[in-house]
Chain A
Amino acid sequence: MLDPKNYTVAKSTRTSRTALVFIFVLVVLLAVAPALVSRSLLQDLFFVLTMIALAQCWNLLAGYGGLVSVGQQAFVGLGAYIGFAGSILWGLNPMLAILLAGVVGAALSVPTAFVVFRLQGAYFAIGTWVAAEVYRLVFAQWKALGGGTGTSLPSGVAKSIAGLSWVREGLDIKSSAARDVISYWIALALVVVIVGAIYAFLRTRSGLALSALRDNETAAESIGVDTRRAKFAVYIFAAFGAAITGALIFFQKASITPQSAFSVIDWTAFVLFIVVIGGIGTIEGPIIGALILFVLQNWFADYGTWYLMALGAIAIAVMLVAPRGIWGLVQAKYDFSIFPTRRRLLGPDTPVPDYTQPIREMKLPPAKGVHAADTPLEVPTMFDIETDVLIIGSGPAGGASAALLSSYGIANIMIEKYGWLANTPRAHITNQRAMEVLRELGIEEDAIAKSVPQELMGNNVFCTALAGEEIGRLLTWGNHPSRKADYDLASPCRICDIPQTLLEPIIVAKAMESGTITRFKTEYISHTQDENGVVATVRDRVANEIYRIRAKYMIGADGANSLIAEQLGLPMDGKMGLEGSMNIEFEADLSKYVAHRPSVLYWIFQPGADIGGIGAGVVRMVRPWNKWLSIYGFDIKDGPPNLSTDEAEQIVRQLIGDDEILIKIGKLSYWTINNMVARRYAKGRVFCMGDAVHRHPPTNGLGSNTSIQDAYNLCWKLKLVLEGKADASLLDTYNDERQPVGRQIVTRANKSIEDYGPIFETLGITQGGSADDVKRRMDSRKQPTVEAEAKRKALNKYIRQKSYEFNCHGVELGQRYSSSAIVSDHTAEPEYTRDRELYYHPTTWPGARIPHVWLDRDQQSVSTLDLVGRGRFVLLTGVSGAGWMEAAARASAELDIALDAIQIGPGCSVNDTFGDWAMQSEVSDSGMILARPDGHVAWRSHMLSANPTGDLLAVMRQILGRT
């Protein structure tokens, strides 16, 4: 060990002494600075000091050790986390915690070195980066410190810093300012110690070896320098320094996230620029560099990306033009002796230039010129929002979820990527089941006010053009007299047509009115989840800021290109992009072609209209009878055709078949026919719904309706689980109940497209030839021949077949769930007496939606569906069901859950005036039906049981998973 005291030889003893005095004075000045300067200047000085500390450590590694690391953020982050853990989790005094951080950083650098030292040169650089990433990912799992979201320092910890009260009283400042002062002093001490230690170290045998290495590794090795040991020592020391500094920086910040603690930009890129610009391989360089960076940051940081680009360019330029940095330039230009007063920075030993060591003399950079700036130390770019349920997407699924959860009193936040709701009409058929959900939400009337009623929906015309020949017509959406009764009997609500552009605002307005926080222009990016919740990273697209939202559960309603379903890896069956289709919105007064046969859909069978798309050309009413939308296919193999307005108008004109009529083309949009359903709807605490999990063509008009019903199924379960009234296993039933529905509707909608094929073929459109050939074949059905008669019959049959698309009442209303939230009454499932898809079969068999009948309450008509829902269980019984009433009251009290009981019958609060309930309930007067909050029958009992309370409790416990 060389003792510096032995080296009394100096270039200039007098200047050394001057330097010593100068440095001493400077350190003293810096030490008393808190009493002299403003708080913001003090924070600036803290920033400069910590950057100097980090830069010195990196410089030691790269400049002297030749170990170019881009992974020092590993130790900064490590130190920061150990510091937080020490003070928050283990109750250490912050000072001790900072020291502990250094020790742990140094300790963990040993195994890290073991791995990364296997790489040489540039590969070492990236190896250290990988190591830092590993640390980041591992610390992001430390749940006690907030996992991926990070955590904040409790104020109590910040106040427990030793000497706080002394500083506060001594300087007569607030305790937060006193904390700044103490942090600053520690930073100052740290820089003095680190610089002193590096200086001392470089003069030891190891330090000498290191310098030799830097200059010529092979030569150094050949004269017996143990390069490995010296590099190892440097690596450990740099880790120690970075960890202590990291702990200090984050104590000052008072909050931590894995991203900020292990930031490669903050703790490596900036540090690297400091050293390179200041002058690598010198002790002065990092100090100069830190000051330069500080000045640049104060002046230019507002320029954001341009500032960073300029910084990168400066670093490149310095590396190419003046690889030894600013200090190198200074040294080249002036002789050392010009700066004798700045010869030493600090340290107790006499500044002795040792000719045996190649490091250049230490000089103190100008420490003046640092001006107070209002820039805070660090603008926190991340903040957390907490809520119970985070909803991604504000379409029918997301909007309905938000509205339902808010109606149940569950806190929720909904984010939407775009600035407003649907911008094209898209979904429009709003079926009875969806209307029933809106009815519960209290927005049925609003929706009806914006809707086109059932009576104007149903003349489904099949023609060669709107102005052309009508080939056939089908009364749809329950408008055929034989079907009208089915529809009317099934629900208190009417099917109607509301474009998505009009429905979404109604739903979202309701949601926000009842408490949902909606953030538009906010894009979901990613999420992580653990056993306590989900943390989603989102981007505010207005401020271009990324922040995190913590929720107990997340709903992924982000549509057919769902990023969430993709990130969750939900297994998907089927294919996307089977056919291409486009929507052409247009305005035209088409009354003369449609007013006598009002409908939402007019189907055009023309040559070419069967290619791609949904099976035929469509003219769809958006608003009667002047706003329209044409749906037309394109060959998916050619990609979207990117039509001009003129081309779009040509298609529209061709479908209308009238060259005279005035047409104003609006928006064009392209979409594809999909046939895909998720095999699983949820993973952990994230539930996907709507198009995210069932992607299918618009045939049958089931998309938006099913989405709303997905929400209706899930939200009450979330409510009960969040309130602690049901076990989390209840949430599994969402998938069990809704996934089969999704599969059913995706299959149905795609089948409906295929059903157009036979019509085209029978008409002879697909067989090619000239327009005249096609016309001749189409007209051939008008002949009085046997062949023509067969053709007419076939056409009739195929058009009737389309009832499976347009009168598919069973698919719309007839879902019967089967899951652990449905308790069997040990009766067989009622048989389907008519076609299961076309006809709704009302039943109270457990799993089915409770049948609608009109009842009387206080001289008012109420539906059975009005009695149930609104987030609570409802038990319906008859005049002889007093036992069940009692049981419900007891079960409700015992389970602390909303469970209402209603007797229906003469003399009861609700009267079965028409006697329909008696016919429909399928249980006796003393029996009961237990309806879940979503109106589906949870359980029923044909008559009063021997132990109604016990039975009901057992059933409720099973449903709630409280076994």
Chain B
Amino acid sequence: MIYLDTIIQGVLLGGLYALFALGLSLIFGIMRLVNLAHGDLMILGAFAVLVGVDALGLPIPLAAVLAGIFMFMVGYALQYVLLNRTLGRDILPPLLVTFGLSIILQNGMLETFSADTQRLNMGGLQEASISLFGGLAIGMVPLITFISAIVVILFLNWLFYSTETGRAFRATSDNPQIAQLMGIDNDRIFALAMALAMVIVAIAGLYLGARATFDPLIGPSRLIFAFEAVIIGGLGSFWGTLAGGIILGLAQTFGAQINPEWQILSGHIVFLIILVIRPKGLFPRVTG
């Protein structure tokens, strides 16, 4: 029964990691950009929700929506003003710029919000759970997180394969030059994609803050989880990203079961093992 419990916890944790990873996966898919500030942007999203709740006294859902809108604008501006200038054949500029951005974000948040650990208070939901057979219980927040991850994936798949915007995304992803010739404004499409990714980041931030404490400096470690989930799942497939998140979540919960100190380590090790045996991830998108 303890194993079943661990499995459930691991899978649900995987939902959170998938949410971390989906934004990363999305922008990499469209513009081949790896955003080293992704983790810090998630923390920014969490703080945005916190400000809505604490400073403005809004209920969590409203604060989350506002945070989503805020992050949408941040993402759009960030890509349009800054990151579009770094795109190109050379991978160094985007890496260094986002790394610099990461340092700025961390210290900016440290200056604004202090190093105190924070938590989003979900009220009664925080401790609510659904009882299963045999004394097992599923926490509401983890469950909602997992469901949210699935909803985000369904939404992304719908967006990509059933809408004009999605077509533009795919076109720019496949060949930006040709897409531009066809009248697509790459800069705006990229900005839109980043804005969308930042909405997902805000959602990830919301659950990150609801499930555990956070502070301005934990972004990088969350970025690593997101990255691992993307790689394990295989680039280019959102469902793969979810699977990657789940595998990482399971690895961590089983690691923690053996020894709490090994939680993070076992996640990393499983990641490295998968990297060695399946460098393209477990579920790479079939090309051609």
Residues of A near any B CB (own CB < 8 A): 62, 66, 68, 70, 114-115, 118-119, 121-123, 125-127, 129-131, 133-134, 137-138, 140-141, 264-265, 269, 272-273, 276, 280, 304-306, 308-309, 311-313, 315-316, 319-320, 323, 523, 525, 528, 539, 541, 544, 563, 567-569, 575-577, 636-637, 639-640, 642, 672, 674, 676
Contacts and interface: CB of A to CB of B under 8 A. Distances in A.
B276 interface: yes
A122 B268 contact: no
By secondary structure, the A interface counts as: helix
Nearest to A528: B261
Given A122-B91, A568-B260, A642-B57, A130 B227 contact: yes
B213 A563 contact: yes
Interface stretch (B112-120, B149-157, B197-205, B239-247): B112-120
Given A126-B227, A264-B220, A672-B124, 10 more contacts: A122-B94, A126-B36, A137-B264, A309-B104, A319-B93, A319-B96, A523-B116, A575-B128, A577-B127, A639-B123
B279 A118 contact: yes
B129 interface: yes
B231 A269 contact: no
A65 to B, nearest CB: 12
Interface in B99-117: 99-104, 106-108, 110-111, 114-117
B179 interface: no
A577 B108 CA distance: 34
Given A130-B271, A315-B96, A577 B126 contact: yes
A444 B49 CA distance: 48
Interface string B203-222: 00000000001000000110
A319 B100 CA distance: 10
A682 B114 CA distance: 32
Nearest to A217: B89
Contact of A569 (B102, B116, B256): B256
B264 A133 contact: yes
A311 B36 CA distance: 16
A309 B103 contact: yes
Interface in B67-119: 82, 85-86, 91-97, 99-104, 106-108, 110-111, 114-117
B223 interface: yes
B36 A70 contact: yes
Nearest to A316: B100
Interface string B181-206: 00000000000000000000000000
Given A138-B265, A264-B220, A309-B104, A576 B126 contact: yes
Contacts of A567: 260
Given A308-B107, A541-B116, A272 B96 contact: yes
A61 to B, nearest CB: 11
Contacts, number: 157
Contacts of B104: 308-309, 312-313, 316
Interface in B217-235: 220-221, 223-224, 227-228, 231
B258 to A, nearest CB: 12
B213 A272 contact: no
B282 interface: no
Contacts of B108: 305, 309
B127 A575 contact: yes
A635 to B, nearest CB: 10
Nearest to B231: A123
B137 to A, nearest CB: 9
A500 B97 CA distance: 53
Interface string B250-275: 00000010001100110011011001
Nearest to A63: B92
Contact of A130 (B93, B102, B115, B224): B224
Contacts of B110: 305
A276 B107 contact: no
Nearest to B266: A137
14 contacts: A118-B275, A118-B279, A121-B34, A130-B272, A133-B224, A134-B272, A269-B103, A276-B96, A305-B110, A306-B107, A312-B99, A319-B96, A528-B261, A636-B124
A276 B99 CA distance: 12
A191 to B, nearest CB: 24
Contacts of A122: 32-34, 91, 94-95
B36 to A, nearest CB: 7
Contacts of A577: 123-124, 126-128
A134 B107 CA distance: 25
Contacts of B265: 134, 137-138
Given A130-B271, A134-B265, A125 B95 contact: yes
A325 to B, nearest CB: 11
A114 B228 CA distance: 17
A525 B93 CA distance: 36
A211 B97 CA distance: 23
Given A137-B264, A563-B213, A119 B116 contact: no
A850 B33 CA distance: 72
A526 B183 CA distance: 54
A563 to B, nearest CB: 7
Question: 8 smallest A-B Cβ distances: which pairs?
Answer: A122-B34, A576-B127, A312-B103, A305-B107, A312-B100, A312-B104, A118-B279, A316-B100
Contacts of A640: 123
B115 A539 contact: yes
A536 to B, nearest CB: 14
Contacts of A541: 116
Residue among B59, B86, B275 with most chain A CB within 10 A: B275
Contact of A141 (B91, B100, B261, B275): B261
A639 B125 CA distance: 10
A125 B36 contact: yes
Nearest to B85: A320
A77 B167 CA distance: 47
Nearest to A544: B115
Contact of B272 (A115, A280, A308): A115
A119 B97 contact: no
B78 to A, nearest CB: 11
A280 B92 contact: yes
A523 B215 CA distance: 13
A125 B32 CA distance: 14
A323 B57 CA distance: 45
B99 A70 contact: yes
Contact of A316 (B97, B268, B272): B97
Contacts of A272: 96, 99
Contacts of B123: 577, 636, 639-640
Contact of B86 (A123, A320, A523): A320
B115 A62 contact: no
B231 to A, nearest CB: 7
A860 B157 CA distance: 85
Given A115-B275, A129-B224, A319 B97 contact: yes
Contacts of B220: 129, 264
B268 A130 contact: yes
A68 B123 CA distance: 44
B145 to A, nearest CB: 17
A142 B111 CA distance: 35
Contacts of A672: 124
A637 B59 CA distance: 12
Given A133-B224, A305-B111, A127 B275 contact: yes
Q: Which of B32, B85, B265, B269 has the most CB of A within 10 A?
A: B265
Nearest to B271: A130
A907 to B, nearest CB: 59
A338 B267 CA distance: 54
Contact of B111 (A306, A311, A319, A639): A306
A676 B128 CA distance: 12
B271 A320 contact: no
Contacts of A265: 103
A320 B93 contact: yes
B264 A126 contact: no
Contacts of A568: 260
A418 to B, nearest CB: 12
Contact of A269 (B33, B59, B99, B275): B99
